[in-house]
Structure 1
Amino acid sequence: MLQILGKASSINVRKVLWACAELDLPFEREDWGSGFRTTNVPEFVALNPNAMVPVIRDGEFVLWESNSIIRYLAGRYDGEFLYPSDPCERAKCDQWIDWQASELNRAWSYAFLALVRHSPAHQDRQQIDLSCANWATHIAIVDRQLEKTGAFIAGPSFSLADIPIALSINRWFETPLQHGHFPALTAYMERLAPRAGYVEYCRNGTP
């Protein structure tokens, strides 16, 4: 059975858990990370040299990096309905998956650590305000894309790209800041509400 190493409160672990829900894929999960077993031990570092969650074991195969994991699971377990084989359609998914990791994550990092994690090292008011403004700029990009598609982030159908994007939007809503008016964003989250994976692993009160 697929093994997932990482605490369920981690946004990156929740990407993997939600993907498993969409694929109807059974798994076993072990708590690793802050508040649980430390990842800075030889047995974990042997699996992921970055000492970060999530890590999966699928038989003898080991993989880390959440976006790589969800792509692998969709490819391995008949997930073409999530991650199309057509190169153009797949590229549309990939651009939003990669953008979430490279751009959107960077935008909210300081504000989230300050306002939710209450990190003593992230309490510079000017930096918090800058991060909040940058976050709002990136959220506006998502809102415009959703207004354009009228449905999901990469097009008319739910795809693998919606998992990291929706989790980031949830983090936006769960962080105590001014959220502004993004109607397409709100409609999108309502559109996702019937999905069991969304309810359990995304919009569940966890930022």
Structure 2
Amino acid sequence: MREMLRVWGRDNSINVQKVLWCCGELGLEHERVDAGGAYGFPEGYEEINPNRLVPAIEEDGFVLWESNAIVRYLAARYGAGTLWPEDTRARARADRWMDWQATALWEHLRPVFWGLVRTPPEERDEAAIEEARRKTAGAWAILERHLEGREEYVEGDALTMADIPLGVSARRWFGLDIERPPMPNLEAWYGRLLEREAFRDCVAGIPLT
């Protein structure tokens, strides 16, 4: 009998939300344990994740950390043919967007989010936040062009693992009180995510903190 999946991490973390949303789409029962941020880490957590970061998962004695790796694992194990494209090239295309989110996109979006949400107003570097906002808009423009003529999701008519890291990032982009250039394709895609119960429960319904 499979032991219940355990997810370590607080539900307001962008990286934890990737895993929780993935679980929601797959209908995976799991236990979430608060860790990181204001919760700190329980004694011995470094044996689970030596980086002392969240998320991490445990399942039947198997431990894994790094959010995108966890999403890939869960999608491959429980979502073959849905979140995990079975065609090798389709899977590679989904994979690239996951890497792109972790590098090109989040590199610019993170300073905007941290500057406006987790930094007191009197300590903000407004110039740096604005520069990061412009660079983030430039990164989103790449996905905007990619979505042109696509009716549903990032890599086809069905949600795949590609949408998950991008979707949690879009939640921050559209949830911040900032100037955003019009991007109708991106906005329509995000609107489709908001129609998904698991996205609302695990991502959109959680306050940005």
TM-score normalised to the size of structure 1? Answer: 0.92
Whichever residue aligns with residue 65 of structure 1, its letter is E
- 1:76 aligns to what? 77
- 1:88 aligns to what? 89
1:13-52 alpha-carbon deviations (Å, 9 max, x no partner): 111011111111100010001111x13x651111111100
Structure 2: give runs of 5+ residues left out of the alignment.
Answer: none
Whichever residue aligns with residue 35 of structure 1, its letter is A
* 1:60-139 mapped onto 2 (5 Å cutoff): 60-118=61-119, 123-139=124-140
SS of aligned partner of 2:204: coil
Shift of 1:107: 0.9
* 1:19-98 mapped onto 2 (5 Å cutoff): 19-36=22-39, 38-39=40-41, 43-98=44-99
SS of aligned partner of 1:179: coil
Shift of 1:69: 0.2
TM-score normalised to the size of structure 2? Answer: 0.92
1:114-164 alpha-carbon deviations (Å, 9 max, x no partner): 111116897222211110110111111122222242321122221111111
Shift of 1:193: 2.7
> Equivalent of 2:9, from 6, 11, 26?
6
1:76-132 alpha-carbon deviations (Å, 9 max, x no partner): 224331111211010010000110001111011212111111168972222111101
SS of aligned partner of 1:48: coil
Shift of 1:205: 4.8
Structure 1: give runs of 5+ residues left out of the alignment.
Answer: none
Moved more, 192-201 or 62-71: 192-201
Tell me, yes or no, if the aligned pair for 2:75 and 2:83 is still in contact at 8 Å: yes
Moved more, 192-201 or 114-123: 114-123
- 1:185 aligns to what? 186
Tell me, yes or no, if the aligned pair for 1:174 and 1:205 is still in contact at 8 Å: no
Distance 1:189 1:129 in 2: 23
Moved over 3 A (4+): 119-122
Q: RMSD value over aligned CA atoms?
A: 1.7
Shift of 1:192: 2.1
Distance 1:9 1:120 in 2: 21
Distance 1:77 1:122, change over 3 A: farther
Whichever residue aligns with residue 141 of structure 2, its letter is A
Moved more, 143-152 or 52-61: 143-152
